[in-house]
Amino acid sequence: MTIILLGDPRTKKNSQRLVHLGSRMIPLTSKAYSEYERDCLAQITGDKKKLIDCPVNVRCEYFMGTHRRVDLTNLLEATDDILVEAGVLVDDNSRIVAGHDGSRVHYDKHNPRVEIEINWLTPEMEVEG
């Protein structure tokens, strides 16, 4: 299954906001990430919402709109969370998202996006955990 999400990919961890909740400080995601997540969720519709609950490899090809430095693992975490929130995956634990093999970051000034390919793993390929 292939899902293409248009927009400049964002991570959850960078530029978090701290908000007072009573006497506690609560970290919230940045406005940029919140907008990116909202836009991605609107793009995932219909037959893409499979609630996958078996081992898969989630390969993500990120095409960034700028040359800014970005952490691939943070991008993957954000994408996995979006796929769970959208109902594509039941959860993003290692029994379901068994790998991110082939994931990369590229530059595309004119068409920033993430191309996600989800492949079911055969029983022989499952990761023991």
How much is the average pLDDT of 50-71? 95
Pairwise CA distance, residues 50 & 56, whole Å:
13
Residue 31 has a pLDDT of: 85
State the pLDDT confidence band at 129, using cuts at 50, 70 and 90: very low
| pTM of the entire predicted model | 0.85
- Write phi, then psi, for 70 (nearest 5 degrees): -145, 150
How much is the average pLDDT of 5-24? 81
Domain count, the chain: 1
- Write phi, then psi, for 67 (nearest 5 degrees): -90, 15
State the pLDDT confidence band at 123, using cuts at 50, 70 and 90: low
Residue 86 CB coordination number (10 Å): 19
Residue of 92 and 32 predicted with greater confidence? 92
Least confident of 21-30, 45-54, 89-98, 103-112: 21-30
User: What CATH number does residue 74 fall under?
Assistant: 3.30.1330.70
Pairwise CA distance, residues 55 & 126, whole Å:
7
Domain with 108 in it:
2-125
